[in-house]
Each structure stands twice: as C-alpha cells, then as structure tokens.
Amino acid sequence: MMDRRDIEILMELQYRFPPSETPYLEISERLGIPFEEFRRRVEALRSRFVIKRLGFNINYKASGKVAALVAMRAVDLDAKEKIRRILLRDPDVTHNYVRNHEWFNIWFVIKRRTPEDIMRSVEEIARLSGSRDYLILLGKRTYKLSVKFDLLRGVSWSEPDVLPENVPTFEELGIPREPFSQLSRWIPVAERPYRDIASRYGYSEGELVGLIRELYSKRVLRNLGATLEGRRAGIMWDGMVVIRGSEDDCLRIALEVPEATHVVYRVPLNGVWDYRAYFMVHADSRDKIEGIALRVSEMLGGKDYRVLYSVENLKPGIHSNE
C-alpha cells in the first residue's frame, strides 16, 4: 500500500520534476523529506512496479518514424497468441491490447520509417497469424501526448498542450542520441544524477542539463519525470475514446480536456473507419471515463463516439528495473 508520503512523492515526480542538475534534492527539500528517506521511498516504488519510468520520452519523430494504430481480428485464442508473440519481439510496437470491440479485438501501435513500411509489416503479421481482417489507422497528427495520473482525483490529468507537427531529429540538431537514450528510462536517484553520464560523454553536468532543456523545448524529449503503472497506482481503467470527428475537434480536445492523455487524428490506410478523432483517458472507475467521454461529445455538438476499454495487456511496458 502507498501512504500519503508516497502519493506526495509520485505527484511531485510526475508534475514538478525540475530540469536542473539536482532535481531530487530539490523535490525532497520541497516536500520536507530527508534525502535518504526520499531515495529509499522512490526505489521501493520502483521495485513494486508503481514507477515504470523515471526519465523522459524520446519523440519517435526525432528518429524519423511514423506511427499507426492497428485494429486486427484474432479469430481464436491461437491467433491471439501468435499475434502476441510476434509483437513482443518488435521493439517498435509500443502498445498491444485486447479491447472490447465487437469485431476487431486486438489493437496495437506500430512505428516504422514510412506508411508503406507499416503496411508491409502489418500484412506480414496478418499472414503469420492467420488474421484476415485488420485496419491500419495512420496518425496524421498527434495533438497531445502526456500520460500523468492525478492520484488525488483518481484520473489522468495534464495541462492543455498542442504538439508541433514537425520535430527535428538528433541528426539535424547535431546532438548524439546515446546519452538521452540511457537517461530516458531511469535518471539515477542521486544528489547529482547526471554526473556520471555527463562525464562518460564528455559533458559537464551543466552542459548535459542544458541539452536536456534544449531538446525538451524543441519537443524532441517529452514528459520529463515519472511514468506510473496505472493499475498499481489505483488507476484501474483506461478507455480509448473514438469520435466521428475532425482535426479541429482534436485541437479542441487537446486544449480543453485535461483528462485526455493521447489526442490523435487518424486516417485509414485501408478499409473504412469513420471514427478519426481519438483520445485516451484513464481513471479509477469506469463511470469517470464514461462521464468524460459524454462531456467531450456534448462539447463537440453531440458527435457520435465509442469507448473501447482494454481487456488484456498483451505487451506490458518495459519497466526501468527489468
């Protein structure tokens, strides 16, 4: 069980992680917790898989990739298991869930260099698993991506935000990717967490933190701080809300719906799919998600929508302590 101090620490790590040379010292001082106690608590939360990552996300566009949501029909348990095993081996598949759609029961996100590469990969997955029916929904634009859980309200919540359409690559910026890849999963809980990796790559601590700030401002890096494993933090439900909506609707959701974590406008590369405006919401109850989805529909003039809930996670995210 988490006590009040744990919740305070998790909220600070999610919402107020400072881009400084001594972030953990600053947080422990803000909370009035001795640093060693703070460190022990964070490591305990990590070992219990409450904290999944303590670093930042690297924007996939900074690697020159595109992403698509794929809806696939697994006709039986054997097909589902084949899809699961194939996608477990693919590092560019980041989510894979069974969802409660009446036809397409497997939903995963795949990244490749081009839409054509995505088409070829999905065709191969379908062939190997014997799955004939699938939809490929290319992300035309991601408007928001910020997965933070307000543990006091019991719901996902983050500030309004609109991501830029284009993000520079590391190569274009002339900045090596390696030190940031190493820090993306876990920034060591130490008084000076950047000292060792800065020295390894020939930077001072100030220079490395300066690069983190620069890459964050350019949206190459996102979500500095902690990412939580929702269910272990009491956030038991996640709903994928799909709306018969427009790009302008996605923009409104990103700016006016703080509970939305991912807001994406998607276009089908094959087949027919009219629910093109998409957002995710997480909460400690299904009723909260239903209420948020209805509120958004009414905000958009009563547009048709569906909420697809995850039933099973076929590719749990990699934890920093694995």
* Same domain flag for 36 and 75: no
Per-residue pLDDT reduced to its tens digit, 251-293: 999 999 999 999 999 999 999 999 999 999 999 999 999 999 9
* Same domain flag for 304 and 242: yes
Per-residue pLDDT reduced to its tens digit, 154-179: 999 999 999 999 999 999 999 999 99
Beta strands 149-150; 155-156: pairing state: antiparallel
Q: What are the two backbone dihedrals, phi and then psi, of residue 9, each rounded to the nearest 5 degrees?
A: -65, -45
pLDDT exceeds cutoff 90 at 322: no
Within a domain: 127: yes
* Same domain flag for 151 and 73: yes
CA distances, 241 to each of 62, 156, 269, 307 (Å): 27, 14, 20, 4
* Same domain flag for 25 and 68: no
CA distances, 142 to each of 16, 53, 59, 66, 176 (Å): 24, 22, 11, 11, 25
Confidence at 63, pLDDT banded by 50, 70, 90 = confident
Per-residue pLDDT reduced to its tens digit, 13-27: 999 999 999 999 999
Within a domain: 211: no
Domain of residue 260, CATH code: 3.30.70.3460
* Same domain flag for 20 and 76: no
Instruction: Determine how many CB atoms are found less than 10 A away from the CB of residue 25.
Output: 17
Confidence at 143, pLDDT banded by 50, 70, 90 = very high
Based on the structure, what is the number of domains in the chain? 2
Could you give the CA distance from residue 263 to residue 56 in angstroms, rounded to a whole number? 19
The last residue of a domain, from among 48, 71, 86: 48
* Same domain flag for 81 and 7: no
Confidence at 125, pLDDT banded by 50, 70, 90 = very high
Within a domain: 260: yes
* Same domain flag for 151 and 36: no
- Spatial contact of 253 and 296, defined as CB atoms under 8 Å apart: yes
Within a domain: 165: no
* Same domain flag for 31 and 125: no
pLDDT of 293 reads: 98
Mean pLDDT along residues 174-192: 94
Residues 6+ apart with CB under 8 A from 209: 19, 20, 21, 194
From the list 221, 199, 191, 182, the residue with the least C-alpha distance to 20 is: 191
pLDDT of 319 reads: 54
User: Could you tell me what percent of the chain has a pLDDT over 90?
Assistant: 94
Mean pLDDT along residues 168-196: 95
pLDDT exceeds cutoff 80 at 318: no
* Same domain flag for 13 and 97: no
* Same domain flag for 8 and 119: no
Within a domain: 244: yes
Within a domain: 97: yes
Residue entry with tokens 């497997």: 106
How many residues are recorded in the chain?
322
pTM of the model: 0.93
pLDDT exceeds cutoff 90 at 298: yes
Domain carrying residue 258: 62-158+231-313
* Same domain flag for 282 and 150: yes
Average pLDDT, the chain: 95
* Same domain flag for 264 and 301: yes
Within a domain: 28: yes
Per-residue pLDDT reduced to its tens digit, 69-112: 999 999 999 999 999 999 999 999 989 999 999 999 999 999 99
Within a domain: 281: yes
